[in-house]
A and B are shown apart, each in its own frame.
Chain A
Amino acid sequence: MSSGACTVNTVLIDLSGTIHIEDTEIPGSVKALERLQKSKVNIKFVTNTTKESKRVLLERLHSIGFNVKGEEIFTSLTAARYLIEQRKLHPLLMVDEKALEDFEGVSTENQDAVVVGLAPEKFDYNTMNQAFRLILSGAPLIAIHKGRYYKRKDGLALGPGPFVTALEFATGQKADIVGKPELSFFLSAVEEFSVAPSQCIMIGDQSTA
């Protein structure tokens, strides 16, 4: 191995498609993770999720047999919360009910920001208008991601991207996107380790994200 690779001390690992698919382990990954954990490198699991809270992800990983701790997981919801706390914002949360627990303790009174995830039940006309007026009066628009659509039992269904785009167009304000592949996502994920990006390696199954 070249000397460059030897300086890696932090490993970022994608979840779905990299170490598991739904409730099934990708063969060998439980063992591989154990070996990494013994080698004392920093480990962070990074994933774009807009529905599943950290707790739900953790339960699934444990049931498959992975030895993972809550603080080792950094999701796009974590990144959104991080941004909200950093900027002391009181958001209108257009996120799925199941994802709300990742925002527990965040004040949503006197709203001055809009956070959009995948939340079909929040994309109604009234909530969209509420979000629009907040952004028009200066509230930042924070998007968990800008996915165009996703697969539902009855076929394809609109993702958050179209609704974020609608709000961007109507207000003339660009959204801040917090998930992969945004630079800020990766930097926030490794911040606690105080390492340089060149000391980190990302392991995933998608070349673009």
Chain B
Amino acid sequence: MACLKGVNAVMLDISGVLKDTADGADVAIPGSVNAVNRLKEAGIPIRFCTNETTTTRKNLVDRLQKLGFSIKEEEVFSPAPAVCQVLRQRGLRPHLLVHPASEADFDAVDKNKPNCVVIGDAAENFSYENMNKAFQTLIAMDNPVLISMGKGKYYKDSNSLILDVGAYMKALEYACDIEADVVGKPSASFFLAVLQDMERVPEETLMVGDDIESDVGGAQRCGIRAALVRTGKYRSSDENHPKVKPDIIVNDLSQLVDELLAAGGKL
């Protein structure tokens, strides 16, 4: 396919591209374990770009390895390590509204006398009282700083769609009349950090995801081509999105790799 010509590096979303979640357990999407292997055998560098914040990066990698994926921790880019870097650079001490299983990613961070709020996909922890604590922390600041790990609208869990961090980020933005700093997809700095790590330019890179806005839209704004897969949270209406048009739409990762290798994807 012409639209894949010259692609020699790939960024892969994890949830909805490599695996789904059913009743709390991970399930590999058919063909995806092999698809990753085929990319690696072809010598195409891969980075895994996820907005996953309901677990630590290490735990996520362990779970994917158990499913049979060839994946190493240093190949995974997730928002929490990026946030920790931002906190250090800006001298910020967070009040955390995050999933209990992801708190370990922030162990080394000073959380006394918070001067910002960090929000992730807290799932069950998105109670009214927890939202209120985050709100009260923000509204008490002269200049409220809200850092959001991604801004996804929803995702798929056990065959039903559920609210993602973006919805709760918007709630706090509206309550305090502020705008959050988004770390993770779709922010350009996140994609650019991944490119830098791969030593690639946008024009030779492809992002593969199931989120039309965070994955496809975010990558395209950086000049990175983007493929939408019809797995995970995909809905047919995504193909008629008013603003975002994927460079290619495929049934799943396996088909994408077929097309990419057929297009002569390098080497």
Q: Which residues of A are in contact with B by a Cβ distance under 8 Å?
A: 120-121, 123-125, 128-129, 132-133, 136, 148-149, 155-159, 161-163, 165-172
Contact = CB atoms under 8 A, between A and B. Distances in A.
B167 interface: yes
Chain B contact patch, size range: 20 to 34
Contacts of B164: 170
Nearest to A119: B128
A128 B130 CA distance: 14
B245 to A, nearest CB: 17
A193 B124 CA distance: 49
A123 B163 CA distance: 13
B170 A156 contact: no
Given A148-B175, A169-B170, A170-B154, A124 B128 contact: yes
B104 interface: no
Contact of A129 (B162, B170, B173, B177): B162
A157 B132 contact: yes
A149 B170 contact: no
B31 to A, nearest CB: 28
Contacts of B166: 169-170
Main secondary structure of the interface of B (DSSP, over half): helix
A158 B153 contact: no
Contacts of A136: 154, 161
B175 A158 contact: yes
B174 A148 contact: yes
Pick the most buried of A124, A157, A166, A172: most chain B CB atoms within 10 A of its CB: A166
A165 B132 contact: no
Contact of B128 (A133, A158, A165): A158
Interface of B: 123-128, 131-132, 135-136, 139, 153-154, 160-164, 166-168, 170-177
Nearest to B172: A162
B161 A149 contact: no
A60 to B, nearest CB: 27
B69 to A, nearest CB: 29
B78 to A, nearest CB: 22
Given A120-B132, A157-B136, A170-B164, 15 more contacts: A123-B128, A125-B123, A125-B126, A129-B162, A132-B161, A132-B162, A132-B163, A148-B174, A148-B175, A158-B175, A165-B171, A165-B174, A169-B166, A169-B167, A170-B167
Given A155-B136, A165-B170, A129 B163 contact: yes
A167 B131 contact: no
B168 A156 contact: no
Contact of B160 (A124, A133, A170): A133
Contacts of A133: 160-161
Shortest Cβ-Cβ A-B pairs, 3 listed:
A162-B171, A166-B167, A165-B174
Contact of A148 (B127, B128, B162, B177): B177
Contact of A128 (B126, B153, B173): B126
B146 to A, nearest CB: 12
B119 to A, nearest CB: 12
B174 A162 contact: yes
A82 to B, nearest CB: 26
Contact of B163 (A128, A156, A161, A165): A128
A139 B264 CA distance: 47
B117 to A, nearest CB: 13
A166 B163 contact: yes
Nearest to B124: A125
Nearest to B139: A156
A92 to B, nearest CB: 15
